[in-house]
Amino acid sequence: MKRLLAVALGILTAIGGFVDIGDLVTNGLVGSRFGLSLAWATIVGVVGICLFAEMSGRVAAVTGRGTFDLVRERLGPRFGLANLIASFLVTVLTFTAEVGGIALSIELATSVNYLLWVPIAGLAVWLIIWRVKFSMLENVFGLLGLALVVFSIAVWKLNPSWTDLIHQIALPHKPDKEGLLSYFYYAIALFGAAMTPYEVFFFSSGGVEEHWSKQDISTSRINVFIGFPLGGLLSLSIAAGAALVLLPRNIQVDSLAGVGLPVAVAAGKLGLAVAILGFVAATFGAALETGLSCGYTISQYFGWQWGKYVRPRQAARFHLVVLLSVIIAVGGVLTTVNPITVTEYSVVFSAVALPLTYFPILVICNDPDYMQDKVNGRMSNLLGTIFLILVLIAAAAAIPLMLLTKAGQ
């Protein structure tokens, strides 16, 4: 029964934790401009994150070691350092966006300017990371994030033509008023939002935190292959709601309030209140994950003691990195740069960093010295190679498309 509960709870936390500020904003914006014609990018991204999250979880279960610890050892300190710098900068940028997302979510609930909530949000994130146990941290915010199911309920209450929605997904086409370059720019943004690097850092490091062994590989796989796709379904629901309510009225999402507008139309004030609860929980949970991931990456590369499975004083440098990351994130939001803009850039730069994140995982999963009898099979390698080519294309195209389209404008 205890094992069954662990599986069920893991699935629920994966669903609630999948949708962060990047998914909220990007899916809402794309739905309001492109309908569901870019749903394929989210679906491809979900397949990719499932593939590499399974690999990273298997690595953690077999080796009992963190990703960056193995990357430095297997691929050398120079490649590991390049990987570390790129991944850390993207994770800090994402962390900044999540802290801004928390403040914006609370602003929706209180009508108090979000900048006043930023220091409080940063302090709360730091205190929870410092003092709260890993299992409670992960489960509570993941479960609260399930409030975002209200988007799926809203789509159902809007009583759409399901045939038309399925047609948009199955036979995607670019709207006439949108440019081709903007179409592919947002495709990469959705792909990057689904495959954000911190997700695999957190997932594999969390496996070490929870002392996974080979016997836990099946539990890890169930969490990945059920939880992440259901989280992707929430992302598609956000896009569908925007496509049904905002696109026909030529209303483009440019704020978190705009993301929640379809829920307010379909389910009224109560539905909007539940959506705001989901916003707070999802952004707060993602802030915890990205904050921890900042500490995980640095500490694992340099061989420091890390994690919440030991007392804070035993992992002092790990907690110091997290604290400094919190200060950077809070300071970044307090510059008054638009958090939505930070979010949009974070998902694009996530796409740029994808090859450095996923190539090492594929290499390690094929090394019997680390993986013993749990190396990749032929299908995992085939799919891994295909997705590695996709992430290379996305990484190469992301910056040029951002410049050519002026960030999708």
pLDDT in tens, 35-78: 999 999 999 999 999 999 899 989 989 998 877 788 888 888 88
Q: Which residues, 6+ apart, have CB-to-CB distance to 116 below 8 Å?
A: none
Confidence of residue 351 (pLDDT cuts 50, 70, 90): confident
Q: What is the pLDDT of residue 125?
A: 95
pLDDT at 18 over 80: no
Q: What is the mean pLDDT of the chain?
A: 88
Tell me: pLDDT of 363 over 70.
yes
Summarised one tens digit per residue, pLDDT across range 155-207 is 999 999 999 999 989 888 888 888 899 999 999 989 988 888 888 888 888 88
Q: Would you say residue 95 lies in a domain?
A: yes
Confidence category of residue 4, pLDDT binned at 50, 70, 90: low
pLDDT-derived band of residue 320, with 50, 70 and 90 as boundaries?
A: very high
**Is 348 part of any domain?**
yes
Q: How far is CA 150 from CA 154, 201, 230, 234, 246, in A?
A: 6, 29, 14, 9, 17
Give the span between the Cα atoms of 106 and 279, in whole angstroms. 9
What was the pLDDT predicted at 343?
82
Handedness of CA 52, 53, 58, 64 (dihedral sign): positive
What's the pLDDT at 216?
A: 83
Does the residue 193 lie in any domain? yes
Please say whether the beta carbons of 174 and 180 come within 8 A: yes
Could you read off the pLDDT of 219-230 as tens digits, one per residue?
A: 888 888 888 888
Q: Which amino acid is at 319?
A: H
Coil vs helix vs strand at 326:
helix
| Residue 321 domain flag | no
- Single-letter amino acid, residue 154: A
What is the predicted pLDDT for the residue at 7? 58
As for how many domains the chain has, the answer is 1
Task: Give residue 16's pLDDT.
Answer: 55
Residue 117 lies in a domain: yes
Determine the pLDDT at residue 42: 93
Q: Say if 274 falls within a structural domain.
A: yes
**b/e per residue, 253-291, with b = 16+ CB within 10 A?**
bebbbbbbbbbbbbbeeebbbbbbbbbbbbbbbbbbbbb
Task: Check pLDDT > 90 for residue 131.
Answer: no
User: How close are the terminal C-alpha atoms of the chain, in Å?
Assistant: 52
Closest CA to 279 of 126, 106, 29: 106
CA max distance for the chain? 59
Three-class secondary structure of residue 91 per DSSP: helix
**Phi-psi bin for 64: left (phi > 0), alpha (psi -120 to 50), beta?**
left
- Measure CA 224 to chain center: 13
| Average pLDDT of span 335-342 | 86
The CATH number of the domain holding residue 160 is 1.20.1740.10
- For 226, the domain range is 2-286+328-404
Is residue 301 included in any domain, yes or no?
no
In 3D, which of 26, 56, 240, 273 has the Cα closest to residue 151?
240
Q: How far apart are CA 285 and CA 124, in angstroms?
A: 12
335 three-state secondary structure: coil
Residue 230 three-state SS = helix
CB atoms < 10 A from the CB of 184, how many? 18
| Residue 25 near residue 341, CB atoms below 8 Å | no
- Span 114-129, average pLDDT: 95
CA-CA distance, 108 to 276, in Å (whole number)?
7
Is residue 11 in some structural domain?
Answer: yes
pLDDT at residue 14 is higher than 90: no
**DSSP E strand boundaries for 312-353:** none
d(C-alpha 73, C-alpha 65), whole Å: 11
Strand, coil or helix: what is 172? coil
118 vs 66, more confident: 118
What pLDDT does residue 76 have?
A: 83
pTM: 0.90
Residue 270 scores a pLDDT above 80: yes
